[in-house]
């Protein structure tokens, strides 16, 4: 049994293991703690998402859905091995499982009993990681993703002084579940054991902060101006729901750009001459136009 890792300690453990980690939105305070206790924690549970696509899978695991609110796990492991943290605390991932399995995990038994009961709250006791995979037995498990599962599990086990026997699959916990499908948990535990016998690979470097175009000045935005900056600005305005384009956006500053930017200014709370469609430094900084 162990006290759950704080957000900072979890992040450090993962990066120290050499993982590439992305902090998604407000993951540090995103949890279901108001629905029940979180901890003591006893192990790590691995799942597959039954989805494809990194961003959509991350958003689903962060938000959940109408019948199961998010977070649906603590982290999403993408096919390229990147770990996207989506929650910290109690998460809706394990559901009710077998108390005999929990006792075996706590004692780190050499084998697990059959999961033939659903009588124990797993959301309280397990860190959960969803791995992007359709779970149909055909969707491949890239080497980078399997390595990340190994590293995630080892990082948390290392932080809590657990062995590989504290890592289980959802299918070993809850009757009727099949995830993760496509590799065996015994083989993964073997990999985790080998990793725990050595030193961590990290620390990994946090991802470089995105670079944004500096404000080019209001005079830049005039009739006849053609620039990749104008196109990038237009795409951001569309992404923010402020696009007023019939065609485009394109590189030539146009009346559609001006109308779109005015909509952005109004969205920020500007009015009158402050929403004239000509970019100013304050609104431009908030738009975060990617560097071109």
Q: Report yes or no: 41 and 127 within 8 Å, Cβ to Cβ.
A: yes
Burial 31-43 (b: 16+ CB within 10 A, else e): bbeeeeebeebbb
Mean pLDDT by 10 residues, the chain (292 residues): 94 96 96 97 98 95 96 98 98 98 97 97 98 96 98 98 98 98 98 97 79 96 94 95 92 96 97 96 96 90
Q: Is residue 96 part of a domain?
A: yes
Q: Show the domain range for 223.
A: 218-287
125 and 232 share a domain?
Answer: no
71 and 130 assigned to the same domain: yes
The answer to whether the CB of 51 falls within 8 A of the CB of 65 is no
pLDDT at position 71: 98
Question: Looking at the domain assignment, is residue 201 inside a domain?
Answer: no
Q: Is the same domain home to 56 and 184?
A: yes
Tell me if 213 is assigned to some domain. Answer: no
Is residue 2 in a domain? no
Q: Are residues 61 and 159 in the same domain?
A: yes
Q: Assess whether 174 and 101 both reside in one domain.
A: yes
| Beta strands across the sheet bearing 83-85 | 21-23, 83-85, 75-77, 126-131, 43-48, 167-169
The whole-number pLDDT of residue 248 equals 85
For position 209, what pLDDT does the model report?
Answer: 86
The answer as to whether 48 is a domain residue is yes
Q: Work out how many domains the chain is built from and give that number.
A: 2
On whether both 163 and 62 belong to a single domain, the answer is: yes
Does one domain contain both 19 and 60? yes
Residue 222 lies in a domain: yes
Q: Do 110 and 152 fall within a single domain? A: yes
Same domain (yes/no): 16, 110: yes
Predicted pLDDT of residue 204 = 67
Same domain? 192 vs 223: no
Is there a domain that residue 187 lies in? yes
Indicate whether 51 and 158 sit together in one domain: yes
Q: For residue 128, give the nearest of 107, 147, 152 by alpha carbon.
A: 152
């Amino acid at each position: 049994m162990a006290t759950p890792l704080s957000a900072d300690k979890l992040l450090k453990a993962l990066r120290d293991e050499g993982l590439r980690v992305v902090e998604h939105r407000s993951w540090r305070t995103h949890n279901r703690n108001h629905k029940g206790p979180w901890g003591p924690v006893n192990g790590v549970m691995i799942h597959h998402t039954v989805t494809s696509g990194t961003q959509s899978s991350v958003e689903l695991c962060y938000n959940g859905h109408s019948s199961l609110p998010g977070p649906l796990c603590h982290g999403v492991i993408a096919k390229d091995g990147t770990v996207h943290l989506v929650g910290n605390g109690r998460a809706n991932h394990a559901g009710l499982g077998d108390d005999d399995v929990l006792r075996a995990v706590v004692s780190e038994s050499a084998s697990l009993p059959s999961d033939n009961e659903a009588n124990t709250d797993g959301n309280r006791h397990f860190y959960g990681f969803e791995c992007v995979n359709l779970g149909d037995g055909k969707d491949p498990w890239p080497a980078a993703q399997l390595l990340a599962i190994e590293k995630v599990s080892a990082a948390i086990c290392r932080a809590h002084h657990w062995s590989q026997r504290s890592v289980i699959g959802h299918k070993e916990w809850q009757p009727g579940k099949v995830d993760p499908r496509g590799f065996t948990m015994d083989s993964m535990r073997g990999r985790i054991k080998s990793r725990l016998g050595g030193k961590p690979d990290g620390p990994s470097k946090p991802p470089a902060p995105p670079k944004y175009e500096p404000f080019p000045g209001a005079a830049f935005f005039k009739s006849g101006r053609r620039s990749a900056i104008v196109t990038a600005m237009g795409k951001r305005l569309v992404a923010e729901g402020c696009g007023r384009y019939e065609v485009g956006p394109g590189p030539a500053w146009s009346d559609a750009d001006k109308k779109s930017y005015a909509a952005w200014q109004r969205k920020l709370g500007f009015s009158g001459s402050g929403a004239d469609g000509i970019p100013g430094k304050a609104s431009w900084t908030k738009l975060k136009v990617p560097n071109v």
